[in-house]
Amino acid sequence: MGNSKSTARVLPFKTHVPDLEWKIQDFSLLLDLGAKSATSAAFHCSGFEWYLHVNPMHENPGSGTPYVALFLMLSRKKLKRGDTVHAVFELSIYNHSKGIYCGCQANYNFDFKNDYSKKECLIPLKELLKSSTFLVDDICVFGVEILKVDVSSPEEKAVVVQKKTTTVQNMFLQNKGFIEGTYTWTINNFSELDSKHFVRSPTFEVGGLKWYIGMYPRGDKFSTDSLSLFLYVDASKKLPLEFKNVAVMTLSILDQKNGKHLTRTSARVLPFKTHVPDLEWKIQDFSVLLDLGAKSATSAPFHCSGFEWYLHVNPMHENPGSGTPYVALFLLLSRKKLKRGDTVHAVFELSIYNHSKGMYCGCQANYNFDFKNFYSKKGCLIPLKELLKSSTFLVDDICVFGVEILKVDVSSPEEKAVVVQKKTTTVQNMFLQNKGFIEGTYTWTINNFSELDSKHFVRSPTFEVGGLKWYIGMYPRGDKFSTDSLSLFLYVDASKKLPLEFNNVAVMTLSILDQKNGKHLTRTSGLWVCTYGWGWSDFLGLKKLKDPSGGYLVGSNCVIKADITIVGSSTDG
Same CATH fold assignment for domains 190-269 and 279-432: yes
Please list, in sequence order, all residues whose beta carbon lies within 8 angstroms of the beta carbon of residue 356, skipping any fewer than 6 positions away: 242, 391, 392
Tell me which residues of the chain have a pLDDT lower than 70. 1-16, 61-63, 119, 154-177, 208, 222, 224, 235-246, 266-275, 320-322, 378, 414-424, 495-503, 573
What integer pLDDT is reported at residue 14 of this predicted model?
A: 46
Contact yes or no for 328/380 (Cβ under 8 A): yes
What integer pLDDT is reported at residue 23 of this predicted model?
A: 85
What is the domain class of 279-432 according to CATH?
mainly beta
Q: How far is CA 573 from the centre of its chain?
A: 21
What integer pLDDT is reported at residue 540 of this predicted model?
A: 94
Residue 322 DSSP code? -
**DSSP run (H or E) holding 384:** helix 384-389
Alpha-carbon gap, residue 34 to 25, rounded angstroms: 16
What integer pLDDT is reported at residue 277 of this predicted model?
A: 85
What integer pLDDT is reported at residue 2 of this predicted model?
A: 36
Write the single-letter amino acid at 283. Answer: I
Task: Find residue 168's DSSP bridge partners.
Answer: 21
Contact yes or no for 27/115 (Cβ under 8 A): no
Alpha-carbon gap, residue 106 to 10, rounded angstroms: 12
Alpha-carbon gap, residue 368 to 377, rounded angstroms: 10
State the burial class of residue 272 (Cβ atoms within 10 Å of its Cβ: 0-12, 13-18, 19+): buried
Alpha-carbon gap, residue 491 to 470, rounded angstroms: 6
306: left (phi over 0), alpha (psi -120 to 50) or beta: left
Task: Find residue 108's DSSP bridge partners.
Answer: 87
Q: How far is CA 285 from the centre of its chain?
A: 24
Contact yes or no for 522/511 (Cβ under 8 A): yes
What integer pLDDT is reported at residue 462 of this predicted model?
A: 94
Pairing of strands 325-333, 307-318: antiparallel
Residue 195 DSSP code? T
3-state secondary structure of 120: coil
Residue 542 DSSP code? H
SS3 content of the chain, % helix, strand, coil (to 5): 5, 45, 45
- Which architecture, in CATH terms, is 190-269? Sandwich (2.60)
What integer pLDDT is reported at residue 5 of this predicted model?
A: 35
- Express each pLDDT in 468-481 by its tens digit: 899 999 999 988 87
What is the domain class of 438-572 according to CATH?
mainly beta
Q: Out of 2.60.210.10, 2.60.40.1260, 3.30.1490.20, 1.10.3720.10, select the CATH number for domain 13-171.
A: 2.60.210.10
The total number of residues written for the chain in this structure: 573
**Closest of 512, 522, 530 to residue 465, by C-alpha:** 530
**Closest of 76, 46, 10, 23 to residue 145, by C-alpha:** 46
Alpha-carbon gap, residue 234 to 248, rounded angstroms: 17
Pairing of strands 13-14, 140-152: unpaired
Per-residue burial over 26-58, b = 16 or more CB atoms within 10 Å of its CB, e = otherwise: bbebbeebebebbbbbbbbbbbbbbbbbbbbeb
Q: What's phi and psi for 487, nearest 5 deg?
A: -110, 130
Contact yes or no for 537/484 (Cβ under 8 A): no
3-state secondary structure of 82: coil
What integer pLDDT is reported at residue 475 of this predicted model?
A: 93
Please list, in sequence order, all residues whose beta carbon lies within 8 angstroms of the beta carbon of residue 406, skipping any fewer than 6 positions away: 44, 47, 347, 348, 349, 364, 420
137: left (phi over 0), alpha (psi -120 to 50) or beta: left
Contact yes or no for 471/459 (Cβ under 8 A): yes
Alpha-carbon gap, residue 111 to 187, rounded angstroms: 34
Contact yes or no for 504/486 (Cβ under 8 A): no
Alpha-carbon gap, residue 23 to 172, rounded angstroms: 9
**Closest of 266, 242, 233, 267 to residue 24, by C-alpha:** 267
| DSSP string computed for 324-379 | SEEEEEEEEE--TT--TT-EEEEEEEEEEEETTTTEEEEEEEEEEEESS--B-S--
Q: What's phi and psi for 288, nearest 5 deg?
A: -65, -30
Alpha-carbon gap, residue 71 to 108, rounded angstroms: 11
Q: What's phi and psi for 546, nearest 5 deg?
A: -95, 5
Q: What's phi and psi for 452, nearest 5 deg?
A: -75, -20
Can you give the residue ranges of every domain in the chain?
13-171, 190-269, 279-432, 438-572
